[in-house]
Amino acid sequence: MMKKSLRLLFGLLIAVATVTTLSCRVAVRRGFVSVGSADNELLSGSAATAALNSTLLTFAEVDIGEAKERKEVEQLLEGNYGNQLRSRSISSWRRENHPEARPRGSVIGSIPIRTPKYFWNWHEFRRVLRDWYRRKRFEPEIMNELVGLVKGPMDRHYGFLNSDSRYGSCAVVGNSGILLQSEYGKLIDSHEVVIRLNNARIKGFERSVGSKTSISFVNSNILHLCARREGCFCHPYGDNVPLVMYICQPVHFMDYTICNSTHKSPLLITDSRFDLLCARIVKYYSLKQFVEKSGKSPIEWAPAHDGSMFHYSSGMQAVMLALGICDKVSIFGFGKSVTAKHHYHTNQKAELHLHDYEAEYAFYQNLVERSQVIPFLDDKFKIPQVIIYH
């Protein structure tokens, strides 16, 4: 009798919880519709806009993939790799290891990282991964630290002085096929600093994209591919050009650890606080466009954009980097056209689904016209002059 009573009570609790959850979802959706309605009798237009914006900010602050990333990091730090580190990515190291005589110990690809020869790699891998993840928190003040974190090492490498000040002008060169419809090469090269993305080829395209490169900005997938080459070669612009990289997957810290030891120029990883800030800004703009164009609730954004995989593009973060280290930012090769390829140097036609380029374009436009409406930035941060060249 007691067991039946407990079962009945437990079933009742589940039913109440289910009804409550559904009611909350309905309430949120109705609240969203009422806020967005032009006929709303309770809220004025400005109040409705403010309420909607507050809702979007709240949704943008939620990192859907946070739990998955935390688990991956914990597994890597504990030495429990699962399938994460089985990619055969570093061929030059693989050849040194003589696969026919595999020693005991944990193996990344075919790198026996726990043997004495490679112990430093394992130790350094854990250190940089742990430090990167520990810093991952929302601190918009990070924008004011980029001069010291990024420009400082660049200036020391190039032998420049005045590392405490920003560069006078920076060109961020995207990879859109629309670049081939212009001849911006000389204008791009006239900037003090030129930032290029993901090792895009420039030979043969100089008239449209220029030939000067000061910073090569890449995502860690690019370095992962470069790591297959002898000496981790990842320098299409020359050995002397520094690389700045953001991490797509925590496992790529092993590529960084091994390749960084052979790089003649700086190989810098973006601060995880900076990554988080970029992620929130892009998600806000994506949410905003989604609800305005579809009329749906923000709750429905994640299924439509594969929320756990959604990510900013390399171009967006390179622009954000330039905002922090430059007094004037010129943007080239961002945008698309029905008559242009997705990338000027490849035959790729489709866009990556995990990026929302339209949302990012709206962000760039706000940088030019209404920078005061951009969320999550520190009030003390001064956004430099931004020009978009179409």
**Highest averaged pLDDT of the listed ranges 13-27, 77-91, 233-247, 316-330:** 316-330
Does residue 91 carry a pLDDT above 50?
no
Instruction: Answer whether residue 3 is part of any domain.
Output: no
Percent of the chain with pLDDT over 90: 59
Q: What pLDDT is attached to residue 47?
A: 85
Q: How far apart are the first and last CA of the chain?
A: 76
Query: H helices within the chain, ranges in order?
Result: 2-36, 45-60, 66-78, 91-97, 119-134, 146, 152-158, 185-189, 206-209, 220-226, 253-260, 272-294, 301-305, 314-325, 357-369
Q: What pLDDT is attached to residue 187?
A: 98
Percent of the chain with pLDDT over 70: 75
Chain-centre distance of CA 346, in angstroms?
22
Residue 10 — pLDDT band, cuts 50, 70, 90?
very low
Does residue 277 carry a pLDDT above 80?
yes
Expressed as residue numbers, the domain containing 225 is: 137-282+304-389
Does residue 133 carry a pLDDT above 90?
yes
Chain-centre distance of CA 171, in angstroms?
19
Q: What pLDDT is attached to residue 108?
A: 46
Of 57-71, 100-114, 212-226, minimum mean pLDDT range: 100-114
Q: What pLDDT is attached to residue 322?
A: 98
Mean pLDDT, rounded, for 170-183: 93
What are the DSSP calls for 289-339, one per residue?
A: HHHHHH---GGGHHHHHTTTT----HHHHHHHHHHHHBSEEEEES-S--TT
Hey, is 90 helix, strand or coil? Answer: coil
Mean pLDDT, rounded, for 59-67: 93
- Report d(CA 178, CA 78) in Å as an integer: 46
Total tally of structural domains belonging to the chain: 1
Q: What pLDDT is attached to residue 160?
A: 86
The mean pLDDT value of the chain amounts to 81
Instruction: Answer whether residue 376 is part of any domain.
Output: yes
- Report d(CA 377, CA 285) in Å as an integer: 14
- Report d(CA 21, CA 310) in Å as an integer: 26
Tell me the per-residue pLDDT of 345-370, one tens digit each, with 9 for 90 and over.
677 666 656 689 999 999 999 999 99
Instruction: Answer whether residue 120 is part of any domain.
Output: no
Q: What pLDDT is attached to residue 35?
A: 40
Of 74-83, 235-244, 307-316, minimum mean pLDDT range: 74-83
Residue 48 — pLDDT band, cuts 50, 70, 90?
confident
More confident call, 324 vs 12: 324
- Report d(CA 252, CA 285) in Å as an integer: 28
More confident call, 308 vs 288: 288
The enclosing domain of 177 has a CATH number of 3.90.1480.20
Would residue 111 be called left, alpha or beta, if left means φ above 0 and alpha means ψ between -120 and 50 degrees?
A: beta
Residue 262 — pLDDT band, cuts 50, 70, 90?
confident
Instruction: Answer whether residue 52 is part of any domain.
Output: no
Residue 44 — pLDDT band, cuts 50, 70, 90?
low
Of 45-59, 128-142, 263-277, minimum mean pLDDT range: 45-59
Does residue 38 carry a pLDDT above 70?
no
Residue 114 — pLDDT band, cuts 50, 70, 90?
low
Instruction: Answer whether residue 335 is part of any domain.
Output: yes
Q: What is the pTM of this model?
A: 0.81
Does residue 203 carry a pLDDT above 90?
yes
Q: What pLDDT is attached to residue 335?
A: 85
Q: What pLDDT is attached to residue 103?
A: 35
Tell me the per-residue pLDDT of 209-250, one tens digit each, with 9 for 90 and over.
999 999 999 999 999 999 888 778 888 999 999 999 999 999
Mean pLDDT, rounded, for 291-307: 90
Hey, is 234 helix, strand or coil? Answer: coil
Mean pLDDT, rounded, for 340-344: 69
The Cα-based distances of 150 to 23, 146, 254, 278, 378 in angstroms read 49, 5, 21, 16, 19
Instruction: Answer whether residue 51 is part of any domain.
Output: no
Instruction: Answer whether residue 373 is part of any domain.
Output: yes
Residue 81 — pLDDT band, cuts 50, 70, 90?
low
Task: Assess contact for 349 and 340: CB atoms under 8 A.
Answer: no
Instruction: Answer whether residue 228 is part of any domain.
Output: yes
Structure tokens at 46: 């400005």
- Report d(CA 143, CA 383) in Å as an integer: 10
Mean pLDDT, rounded, for 43-52: 78
More confident call, 224 vs 117: 224
